Amino acid sequence: MVDAAAGTLESLRVNRRLAFVRWVRKTHGWFGLWGALLGLMMGTSGVWLNHRATLKLELPAQQQLNAQLALPDPAPATAEAMAAWLQGALKLERGPNNTRVEPARPAPWDRQLMQPERWTFAFGGPDRVVQVEYWAGNRSA
């Protein structure tokens, strides 16, 4: 009876070890497959970037435009109000992706002068980018 129990216990250990070895082999295979695929992708992009002068990548035509917008009277008092007004004035579907407000600070060339707040807005998506800069107190953006 004792020998049968010992044999069963030993077979359970062997089965666990066998299952673990199978799992390690499967995992190793999948990691190797994905590692090889990642290596091929990195190699292709590396060759492409190193030879970018001869392997031209066709890019869509880009248009860069600088303009000034006259602000309404009274001018928006907060960055959120300015973002809402810009969205309507520029006929954009979505609000800004990024709004940054830099507080007023002394001018670097003269510590007695104060530089006003600076608001920066970034609108757009993959097909277009609109960046707007506004200095508090200015009549245009």
Specify the pLDDT at position 61: 78
For the chain, list residues with pLDDT below 70: 1-7, 9
Per-domain boundaries in the chain: 1-57, 59-141
Q: What are the CA-CA distances from residue 121 to residues 85, 100, 126, 134, 135 (Å)? A: 12, 7, 16, 9, 12
Specify the pLDDT at position 1: 53
In whole numbers, what is the pLDDT of the chain averaged over residues? Answer: 85
